[in-house]
Structure 1
Amino acid sequence: MADFRTIWRADRFIGDFAPSDGGLAVGCDLTTSVLISLFTHRRAHPDDRLPDQAQGDRRGWWADIANSRPIGSRLWLLSREKQTDETLRRAEAYGREALQWLIADGIASRVEVVAEAPRQGVLALGVTIIRDSNETRRLLLEAPWTGLESCVDIKVSQGE
């Protein structure tokens, strides 16, 4: 059974289910899973430096306490960081960490994440998911640097 399709409404800065014919659209399961993995908040590690506005809140999903495989990413930790090469490398590492489950579950043989700052105040993540059959799925995600957890403009292409 397919999952409800998750879309991002950039005009309202929220994630939502996609409507379809009086109900909810299904499909695009891989894209939905990647969006949830990257743009929900994974609990910060004890040694992570929290953004000033977090005020001690390490975030995360309450059920992760009993789950050996946490959900989400630590990209939210970068919301007040300067746009430096070091910060971009951290964004890549956080993205790979959030998507590691795709490899562990046998959905992908490899996941590549490339971060860049295409313009001032914007973080772009290029995600390439490679399956054993060499089928690829590429996603380009752009979010305001200061609102990493709340907004994304997604462009999807499939195959090479």
Structure 2
Amino acid sequence: MTDIALAWNDETFSADLMLTAGAIASDDGMRTAILISLFTDARAPDDAELPEDGDDRRGWWGDQFAADAGPQAGTSNDPNRIGSLLWLLRRAKITNANIQLARQSAEAALAWLKRDGVVSAVTVEIEVQESEGVRRRLAIGVTLDRPNGPGRQRYDFTWDASIT
């Protein structure tokens, strides 16, 4: 699978197109797919508490055209939904329960990899990073077991969830 490469910036907690020799770089691995899955804002369920004032439940507009027209189509449980609900934890306190919610959100966002046969297993690890003078942030580790080709691949990201 070849994608346009996105590069994750640990300082700005964002991704941007990657250039190589002035041209848009490509990614033959899974890093870009993982970035899009984790850091695109999935639509929040109607009963979810939003982290900011207003009623913007976000979500990718293309989700309404998902191929699956099953009973979950268009809902937050739709298996074809793009993105994760990590954004709902943006202002949450770091608690064991919220760390578990972050793990569950990441696992749900990456479940398509196994469902579509891209990998045989996905493992998500969430860790709180702290250092003096730096706001606490989450470290997200994703390990993929590929059914063919190179066995295990590990991807690491830090995410500034504004968790206090």
Partner of 1:121: 136
For the pair 1:102 / 2:117, whether they are aligned, the reply is no
For the pair 1:86 / 2:86, whether they are aligned, the reply is no
SS of equivalent residue, structure 2 residue 32: helix
Question: Aligned pair in 2 of structure 1 residues 9, 104: CA closer, same or farther (>3 Å)?
Answer: same
1:4-153 maps to which residues of 2 (within 5 A)? Answer: 4-51=4-51, 53-67=52-66, 68=68, 69-119=80-130, 121-133=136-148, 135-146=151-162
Work out the percentage of aligned pairs sharing the same amino acid: 37
Looking at structure 2, the residues matched to 38 and 61 of structure 1 have their Cα atoms a distance apart, in angstroms, of 13
Paired residues of 2:123 and 2:143 also in contact (CA < 8 A): yes
Deviation at 1:39, TM superposition (A): 0.6
User: What TM-score, normalized by structure 2, do the two folds share?
Assistant: 0.81
Q: Which has the higher helix share?
A: 1
Deviation at 1:113, TM superposition (A): 0.8
Looking at structure 2, the residues matched to 122 and 46 of structure 1 have their Cα atoms a distance apart, in angstroms, of 27
Deviation at 1:140, TM superposition (A): 1.7
Looking at structure 2, the residues matched to 146 and 22 of structure 1 have their Cα atoms a distance apart, in angstroms, of 34
The gaps in structure 2 that reach 5 residues or longer are 69-79
SS of equivalent residue, structure 2 residue 34: helix
SS of equivalent residue, structure 1 residue 140: strand
The gaps in structure 1 that reach 5 residues or longer are 148-160
RMSD: 2.0
Looking at structure 1, the residues matched to 152 and 49 of structure 2 have their Cα atoms a distance apart, in angstroms, of 35
Paired residues of 1:6 and 1:32 also in contact (CA < 8 A): yes
**Structure 1 range deviating more: 20-29 or 33-42:** 20-29
Looking at structure 1, the residues matched to 100 and 29 of structure 2 have their Cα atoms a distance apart, in angstroms, of 27
Paired residues of 1:50 and 1:77 also in contact (CA < 8 A): yes
SS of equivalent residue, structure 1 residue 93: helix
Deviations 1:29-54 (A, max 9, x none): 41000001001100011222211x15
Looking at structure 1, the residues matched to 46 and 57 of structure 2 have their Cα atoms a distance apart, in angstroms, of 8
**Amino acid paired to 1:41:** D
Paired residues of 1:5 and 1:29 also in contact (CA < 8 A): no
Question: Aligned pair in 2 of structure 1 residues 114, 12: CA closer, same or farther (>3 Å)?
Answer: closer
Question: Aligned pair in 2 of structure 1 residues 116, 13: CA closer, same or farther (>3 Å)?
Answer: closer
Deviation at 1:97, TM superposition (A): 0.4
User: What TM-score, normalized by structure 1, do the two folds share?
Assistant: 0.83
Number of residue pairs aligned between Structure 1 and Structure 2: 146
SS of equivalent residue, structure 1 residue 145: coil
**Amino acid paired to 2:112:** W
